Amino acid sequence: MVQDEPIPQRPLVAIGGNATHPNDIKGTTEEQKAIAAQTAQALLPLALSDNELIITHGNGPVVGKILMRQILTGDRIAPMPLDICVAHSQGGSAYLLSQVEVDPDDPTFQNPTKPIGPFFSEKEASRIGREIGWLMKENSGRGWRHVVPSPRLRHYCDIPLVEQISRGGSVVIADGGGGIPVVRGPKGVRQSVSAVIDKDLTWALMANVMGIELMMILTATPRLAINFGHPNSNFSIG
């Protein structure tokens, strides 16, 4: 946004997981508090404006560490499935749970593509894959990561609640990590599935459904690219 440009009435700020937990930190509580404080300071002009501010956030690095922590202590404590780990990371980041409905037959359940957790060298990834049984893949030339299913969302279940709270003048923090993935059973009852939602798609759906014209994505990278990794990639200056 240009400095003199008026702030929209309904902005949505999407904070990427790697922006709140960059690769160059250990991940201590103190480090994450400091980064959160910097982010809050940057968003202060928006929060003080007369608008309906909505904030959402990623969770990929955090949920990956939660999974690894469980694996390393699995001989003493029964591990939880991925959807519960997503809820843990959501609660720790924003204390507000969200559900998004997905297709139980989505092909990504058979072909996981979503990278989560820290980066590893190829040798480390090979060892961890053998020891833990994780599917590891190379991630955009930056290293190897654990990949999990990431089905496309059908419906964001809590949009009416977010809409109502934001209309009341509160700053809403919702949809952390893309939301908790659920599928609808034969009788219409929702149940969770072990997957991670592409947060960018959920954020875009939220903005479209709520009629939000401005969506800002805060990330750890200096610039963005359309068709990243392909010959026709087009970079924009951050």
Q: Flag whether 171 is in a domain.
A: yes
Q: Flag whether 227 is in a domain.
A: no
What confidence score (pLDDT) does residue 194 get? 86
Q: What is the CATH number of the domain that holds 92?
A: 3.40.1160.10
Q: Flag whether 236 is in a domain.
A: no
What confidence score (pLDDT) does residue 30 get? 80
Q: What residues make up the domain containing 174?
A: 11-219
Q: What are phi and psi of 54, to 5 degrees?
A: -120, 130
Q: Flag whether 179 is in a domain.
A: yes
Q: Flag whether 6 is in a domain.
A: no
What confidence score (pLDDT) does residue 148 get? 94
What confidence score (pLDDT) does residue 2 get? 45
| pLDDT tens by residue, 144-182 | 999 999 999 888 887 888 888 888 888 887 877 788 888
Q: Flag whether 228 is in a domain.
A: no
Total domains present in the chain: 1
Q: Flag whether 235 is in a domain.
A: no
C-alpha 110/C-alpha 76 separation (Å) is: 30
C-alpha 182/C-alpha 83 separation (Å) is: 9
Judged by phi (left if over 0) then psi (alpha if -120 to 50, else beta), residue 177 lies in: left
Q: Flag whether 3 is in a domain.
A: no
Asked whether the beta carbons of 209 and 4 are under 8 A apart, the reply is no
